[in-house]
Amino acid sequence: MDDLFSVAGKTALVTGGARGLGFTYAKALASRGAKVIICDLDEHAVAAAVAELTSYGEIKGYKANVAIEQEVIALVDKVSNELGQLDILINNAGVVQRVTTEDMTLQEWNRVMDVNLTGTFLCCKHFGVMMKRKGKGKIINVSSIAGRMGLDLRLAYCTSKAAIEHLTRTLAAEWGPDHVNINAIGPGYIKTAMNEDTRADPVRYQKMLNQLPWGRFGEPEELVGVLLFLASPASDYVTGQTIFVDGGLLTQ
Ligand SMILES: NC(=O)c1ccc[n+]([C@@H]2O[C@H](COP(=O)([O-])OP(=O)(O)OC[C@H]3O[C@@H](n4cnc5c(N)ncnc54)[C@H](O)[C@@H]3O)[C@@H](O)[C@H]2O)c1
């Protein structure tokens, strides 16, 4: 039973791991014996996160923008040199843009798509090669309840997350014969910097709480159970799925 959910000795990359949910995923994996690399946009934020995570296990960090293909390719080299191969890829880096559709510029639309969707595609493509070569691997993409619900002011975000779910299904079919599992986590409302501004608005915050059967936002640590399931042998015959961790939000 213990081995079923074990990630000990595995190698993992968490994109956008300097803070928020990515930081929590990196901590969860490192503290259970995985060798973890995080990447993020800001060198200082990466260094600070690595300094904090070092007490939990083996961890390194690099500055990389997942939306830029050359940076992803350079990261593949670093991960290869550092870890030799990659068992677990967590495509967590993401951005949200709250704006009405009439006011959204093409640049804003493209930024959300570039990071959330293209970044996921680029990391799947370039790190997937390492996994396909090995005939084994776990890719965990990050969708959202926004991939299933239409949320106001977030046309690009919701569209990108719905596309991540379909990318997950489609790639799972393509790489099934290579025994690479591609699944997604779909967080609900989880307390991080990403939604600090909405939680600071009492009317908006209460409206969100009213939607939640559980009556509260989730804590980042509450995603760890599904993360470990998808990263470990427990999910070896599970692929193309999105598992929601949302306090029942999608039942509404
Ligand atoms: N917090 C929630 O309630 C919630 C709900 C559903 C889905 N999600 C998803 O979970 C993921 C993490 O969200 P979070 O709440 O921790 O957000 P966050 O803003 O706290 O953290 C996101 C991290 O990604 C990094 N990042 C952004 N663009 C990047 C890029 N191009 N390359 C590399 N790193 C980049 C940021 O610098 C940041 O460190 C996102 O994909 C988000 O869409 C979050």
pLDDT in tens, 85-124: 999 999 999 999 999 999 999 999 999 999 999 999 999 9
Confidence (pLDDT) at 1: 56
Q: Is the dihedral of CA 120, 117, 171, 241 positive or negative?
A: positive
Q: Say how many Å lie between the CA of residue 63 and the centre of ligand 1.
A: 15
Q: In terms of C-beta density within 10 A (0-12 exposed, 13-18 middle, 19 or more buried), how is residue 49 classed?
A: buried
pLDDT tens digits along 121-160 = 999 999 999 999 999 999 999 999 999 999 999 999 999 9
For 219, phi then psi, to 5°, come to -95, 150
Instruction: Name residue 99's beta-bridge partners.
Output: none
Question: Alpha-carbon distance 224 to 209, whole Å?
Answer: 22
CB neighbours of 162 closer than 8 A, spacing ≥ 6?
143, 146, 147, 148
Pick the CATH number of 3-244 from 3.40.630.10, 3.40.50.1700, 3.30.300.30, 3.40.50.720: 3.40.50.720
Distances (CA, A) of 91 to 185, 208, 210: 10, 26, 30
Q: Would you please indicate which residues are annotated as catalytic (active-site) residues?
A: 157
Q: How confident is the model at residue 176 (pLDDT cuts 50, 70, 90)?
A: very high
Distance CA 119, CA 82 (A): 22
Tell me the C-alpha distance between 151 and 250, whole Å.
Answer: 12
Taking the CA of residue 190 as reference, the ligand 1 atom at the shortest distance is 3
Q: Are 41 and 22 in contact (CB under 8 A)?
A: no
Instruction: With H, G, I as helix, E, B as strand and everything else as coil, classify residue 87.
Output: coil
Q: How confident is the model at residue 234 (pLDDT cuts 50, 70, 90)?
A: very high
> CB under 8 Å to 18, separation ≥6 — which residues?
38, 40, 41, 42, 45, 46, 48, 49, 61
Q: Is the beta carbon of 68 within 6 A of some atom in ligand 1?
A: no
Nearest by Cα to 94 from 5, 12, 20, 181: 20
Q: What is the pLDDT of residues 29-64, one digit of tens each?
A: 999 999 999 999 999 999 999 999 999 999 999 999
Pocket test for ligand 1, best of 21, 37, 44, 216 (most atoms within 8 A of CB): 21
